[in-house]
Structure 1
Amino acid sequence: MSPRTARSARYYYKSDRLKPLRAFCQVARLGSVSRAADALFLSQPAVSLQLQALERDYGVPLFERIGRRLNLTAAGETLYDMARPLVDGIDGLESAFRDRLQTMSAGRLDIACGNSTLLYLMPPLVAAYRAAHADVALRLHTVTGPEGLAMLRADEVDFAVGAVPDVPGDVIYAPVHVYDPMLITPKGHPLASIPHPRLEDLSGHGLVMPPQHLTTYRQVDYTFQRARVPYTVAMEASGGWEVIKQYVAMGLGISIVSGICLGEADRDRLEARSLAEHFPQRSYGVVVRKGRYLSQQARDFIELLRPGLLARDSSEGGPSER
């Protein structure tokens, strides 16, 4: 081989490290250029050329001939220890990738929810999803509104389900269910006989309210203040709607709750009347970060929330946006 040809071969193979390294590893395994060439479906001269280019590139001999077999030199042993995992990894990449795709077809689904959503809206959906997709690792994260938005922005969850009074510009919100604000009272309470209670009717009765920093308290306060109707808070109770319903049922006051928290079991201990004339309805829906790709697992769950939602919203930049 002329110096010019050797120089050309050296730089040709330097542009593709994998080919000479693969040839080197095969010769190291089989101890023969001819066997390595057969294994690689190459000619013997092609394998020899790659080994020569590799030795010139590194500036050290990698093999020594003992009888008819090629054995690794000390430098060759070092290179083989380093190159073998890389070559095996590349050669096995397609198979490993396909195996990983099969695993991903089961996959994992992370959903952020508020307490009310998790307690009242999600149970039947989770049961139906688990029945259809038992191989998916489902994780429900109980969060406040700001926490849920932070998880969405950090891609720590696939999507969120809940109420979003103010929708930020970097997320998409698709309402799914809408609930009336409801007055709840104990059984036999005077307000229970009024089909359409006014704010003035509520004024003389103590309210059992969630903490002041929550949306419900702020909305109640705003509505009474705007109407210039006085009201009284008998007690504040943290812990969610179930705690508030319990205290109302005990006769410790009345309350204004979202209709999402009222079920058949409450009929035996509470009276409920819609206050939609005075307070805004509350919607619960799917919240997705703009540009977020929805996995098949996420799409399957959203389809349970409301069939056809993804198909309808795709033309409007809804949850199916990618």
Structure 2
Amino acid sequence: MTDEPPAIPRFSYKGDRLKPLRAFCQTVRLGSVSRAAEALYLSQPAVSLQLQALERDMGVRLLERSGRRLVMTREGEALYELARPLVEGIDALSGAFHERLRGLDAGELHVAAGSSTILYLLPDIVAAFRAAHPDVRLNLHNVTGAGGMDLLRSDAVDLAVGSMLDVPGDLDYAPVARFEPMLITRLDHPLAQAKKLDLRDLSPYGLILPPQRLTTYRMVDLVFQRHRVPYTVALEVGGWEVIKQYVAMGLGISIVTAICLTEADRSRLAARSLAAWFPDRSYGVVVRKGKYLSPQARAFTELIKPDLFVRRDYDATGQSER
């Protein structure tokens, strides 16, 4: 008796592996069979049959109802992680093929980034990309925090560039460069002249910080709370250029990332390292897990290297150390 090779599992629903997986992924993404059916231009019963066939062939329950939405079981989460990049890759195949034929001579690229990233980090990278790919239309979406994540999840942008503290499970974050936390004051401020600086020395002075929803504010609060050092916020305002201007006017002190300090700031601001208490801030590329990156997006990310990030570290007198 000869050994026979093991039977290969088959999808019973019309013998098509892709259709049930696409129906499953759309149902997970949209939370209901009816919405998935609309997105796929199918009837609701057709999508239900595909989901039933998929569960039957996998031998497990993949979806369950939670209120008015369908959510994944543990087994469904495992399948979704495997299936989504396959489905998206197949669906994007035609466009990717034609883009490959055309090369990088045309097309669009959408990048989400906050004002600070666009102002301080991206100029050299954008210049290098434009020089290499002049026919690609580059769209920089000026958004911060949750706004950028929403654009990534909805595929409104190809990637995001910025800093992240907490990375959601559906996103990938690749840090590229790190920058030192700095205290900035007026040149004649007592903290600018102090030989030694302790975190408690900041307590008597009001801080000028970005809005509470942003990473900088959350990090400042976390560090002061961890060290049990009281602090006060004199002013909340968005944008490091505005914060630097208000500090130079004597309206308060601030804690910023070294990347925002320029040569022009030396004449009006003193900057001292707070690396003993605050962690460095990393900056890098954020993409949605499983998302197919176009040739334009891959070319842009390849330019985001440490040597294109201009580092600026300052000593206590506000002079650049390197």
Q: Which amino acid aligns with 2:302?
A: E
Normalised by the length of structure 2, the TM-score is 0.61
Shift of 1:257: 0.9
Q: Which amino acid aligns with 1:252?
A: L
Name the CA distance, whole Å, in 2 between partners of 1:98 and 1:266. 48
Indicate the larger mover: 210-219 or 251-260. 210-219
Shift of 1:106: 1.7
Are the aligned partners of 2:105 and 2:133 in contact in 1 as well (CA < 8 Å)?
Answer: no
Q: Which amino acid aligns with 2:261?
A: L
- The runs of 4+ residues in structure 1 deviating greater than 4 Å are 97-101
Structure 1 unaligned blocks of 5 or more: 1-93, 309-322
Name the CA distance, whole Å, in 2 between partners of 1:103 and 1:229. 56
Count of matched residue positions in the alignment of Structure 1 and Structure 2: 212
- 1:244 counterpart residue number: 243
Name the CA distance, whole Å, in 2 between partners of 1:228 and 1:100. 56
Larger radius of gyration: 1
Q: Which amino acid aligns with 2:109?
A: L
Name the CA distance, whole Å, in 2 between partners of 1:159 and 1:188. 42
- 1:185 counterpart residue number: 185
SS in 2 for 1:155: coil
Q: Which amino acid aligns with 1:125?
A: I
Are the aligned partners of 1:176 and 1:285 in contact in 2 as well (CA < 8 Å)?
Answer: yes
User: Measured at CA, do residues 193 and 106 of structure 1 come closer, stay the same or move farther in structure 2, by a change above 3 Å?
Assistant: same
SS in 2 for 1:106: coil
Structure 2 unaligned blocks of 5 or more: 1-93, 308-322
SS in 1 for 2:256: strand
- 2:73 counterpart residue number: none
- 1:127 counterpart residue number: 127
Correspondence list, 1:161-310, <5 A: 161-194=161-194, 196-237=196-237, 239-306=238-305
Are the aligned partners of 2:177 and 2:306 in contact in 1 as well (CA < 8 Å)?
Answer: no
SS in 2 for 1:272: strand
Shift of 1:280: 1.8
**Bigger proportion of residues as helix:** 1
Indicate the larger mover: 198-207 or 246-255. 198-207
Correspondence list, 1:144-163, <5 A: 144-163=144-163
Q: Which amino acid aligns with 1:301?
A: F
Are the aligned partners of 1:125 and 1:305 in contact in 2 as well (CA < 8 Å)?
Answer: yes
Name the CA distance, whole Å, in 1 between partners of 2:264 and 2:227. 34
Name the CA distance, whole Å, in 1 between partners of 2:100 and 2:229. 62
Name the CA distance, whole Å, in 1 between partners of 2:261 and 2:294. 33
Shift of 1:298: 1.2
Are the aligned partners of 2:99 and 2:295 in contact in 1 as well (CA < 8 Å)?
Answer: no
> Structure 1, residues 137-166: CA drift from partner, whole Å, max 9, x if none?
100011122121121122221111011111
SS in 1 for 2:122: helix
> Structure 1, residues 19-50: CA drift from partner, whole Å, max 9, x if none?
xxxxxxxxxxxxxxxxxxxxxxxxxxxxxxxx
